[in-house]
Every structure is written in C-alpha cells, then in structure tokens.
Structure 1
C-alpha cells in the first residue's frame, strides 16, 4: 500500500514539475527573442588597443543564431589580422529568471572561459566582464552592428575596442 501511495505522489508531482518547466521556458523564450536584433551572419572590421597601448586592426565575423527551441543564443566569433586568426570565441546567452538578466557564457580558444552578466539597456545588448569593463552592441539605423568595449576609469569610460559589421 505504501508503494502505491508513493507511486501516485510521484506521478502527481512529476506533472507539476513539468508544468513549472514549461512556464520557465516560456519566460526564457520571450526574453531571448528580445535579442533577435543581434542574430544573423555579420562581417566587417574592428580595432582594439593592446596591452602595448597600440591600436591593432582586424577583420571580424560573427555567426549568431537561436538554439534550444529559442531559449538560448549561440555566438561564434572569429577575427583575423595579418592573414592569421587572432580571435576565436564562442558564447551562449541564456536568460536567468532568478536574477532577471541574461547570463553570457564565453569560451575562448585559449581555454579561458567565464560567465558574465548581460542586460538589454536602451535597446542595446550590454555585457559586463566585471564592474570595470563592459561591451555594448547596438544595431544602427542602417542595420549595421556597432560594438564597443570600454573600461571604467573612475569618472568616465575609456573605449579600447570597436567593431563595425554588416549582415552577410
């Protein structure tokens, strides 16, 4: 008899757990679709100021698409300079309902990885490496991708990175 009661309780609670997962997926789906403006295949050029203080130019491509039934975004980025790859990265963006933000999971070919806070602010995707460094992506009036990286210098932000991309 105890086994039958336990089995009935398991079946009932399993159904409730499934219903909760469906609700969470609906919230995640809505949040992730708010980032549709960054999806697509992009290419163009950019620059960054290296640790040597010199501005280095490169070409860049980004392949960004929805995954997992539109509950995540996969980003694959590659940068080239002087005929060689200088940037090879992958990222996954998921909605974090508990914190009401996006989690930006970043993976570099060097083996470095991290999870960073990301938000939509004024129609732009902003993700923070830490309190002192952020990247902002916006799509301009012509539909082009503009991204900048900035460091907090106390009273102002110093731009050290920029890409200008167009859809392929």
Structure 2
C-alpha cells in the first residue's frame, strides 16, 4: 500500500519541482518577470539632452535628444521611444526609434528589441545596478551601447570594435537629464 502512495506522491513532487518558481501571484502576474522588470525602474521617465554620433562619412553630427521610457502591458514590458533632432536645425529629425524590453521568466533573460531606420535589432542586454548594456554583432564589427543612470542623469556611449572586442572606438555619446 505504501508503494502505491509513493508513486503518485513522487509524480506530484516532480511536477511541482518542474513548475517555474515564478508561477503566479494572487493577481496572476509572474513574480520573477515582474521583479525583473522592476529592476529597470531607474530608466522610467522622460529624458532630454544632447549627443553626438559619427556618421558613416566620418563627419560628427550633434543632436538634441528626447527619450520617453514607460512601463506597458501591466508593467511587464518597457517601451523606449526616442527622437533625435539636428542641433543646428531642430526642425530636422535625424533619428526616431522605438524599443521594447521584456524578461522571459523561463529562460531568465531580458530581451531588447529595437526598431530604427527600417532595421530591427533583437539582443539580450546586460542589466546591472543603474546600468544597461546591449551589443550588436555583424561579421565585420561589434557595436555596444553602455547606458549608466543616476536619479537625474543618463549617460550613454556607443563604441565599435573591428577586432573581436580587443579594442574599442567611441562613435556615439548622449547625455540626458530627467524631466520627470
């Protein structure tokens, strides 16, 4: 009789052990996913400031930048909407981008999906304490963007490596202040 009870009990324990620990809270929201997204709360807000980039021609272009970062979809997705305007002629939009950040509680990884100039970039960013980094690899170069935040400031640099990450050359910088 004991062995008959042990088999179903073992099956039940195995089933419970294979269920993600983040199951659901009483509100039905995955706990680990919500907690992971809360780790990015330092990014939330409206931001504005200046920046520069090196164009493919080698010329340096300065721009005015505005970013709106907000929680979406029950706080389980973050949208990042940015618009850059030519510093010399603010009526001219030089970049317009949209990105989304989410967290997969099964894989335990964040995903950054960005849309800009007709391109889509999907990568796994590195998230730290008031830090966010994402990289894009092609067969010939790697570009990485490192964002650091304080309560009132966002500093971001972009760098490119053509030697597998042995050396980096900065080609982008942005310094923004929190509006709210």
Tell me, yes or no, whether TM beats 0.5.
yes
TM range (shorter): 0.7 to 0.9
Match of 2:67 among 58, 62, 67: 62
Which residue number in structure 2 is paired with residue 129 of structure 1?
Answer: 136
Segments of 5+ residues of structure 1 without an aligned counterpart are 1-16
Distance 1:38 1:27 in 2: 19
* Conserved 8 A contact 1:117-1:129: no
Structure with the higher fraction of residues in strand conformation: 1
> Could you say which structure has the larger radius of gyration?
2
Distance 1:21 1:59 in 2: 43
Kindly indicate whether residue 119 of structure 2 is the aligned counterpart of residue 112 of structure 1.
Answer: yes
Distance 2:107 2:162 in 1: 27
Structure 1 length-normalised TM = 0.80
- CA separation of 1:166/1:123 partners in 2, compared to 1, >3 Å: closer, same or farther? closer
Structure with the higher fraction of residues in helix conformation: 1
Q: Which moved more, 1:44-53 or 1:131-140?
A: 131-140
Over 3 Å off, 4+ runs: none
- CA separation of 1:128/1:160 partners in 2, compared to 1, >3 Å: closer, same or farther? same
Distance 2:156 2:83 in 1: 15
Segments of 5+ residues of structure 2 without an aligned counterpart are 1-18
Q: Deviations over 1:73-115 (max 9, x none)?
A: 011100000230011111110013344321101112x332121
Aligned residues: CA RMSD: 2.2
Kindly indicate whether residue 177 of structure 2 is the aligned counterpart of residue 166 of structure 1.
Answer: yes
Aligned runs of 1:41-56 on 2, under 5 Å? 41-56=46-61
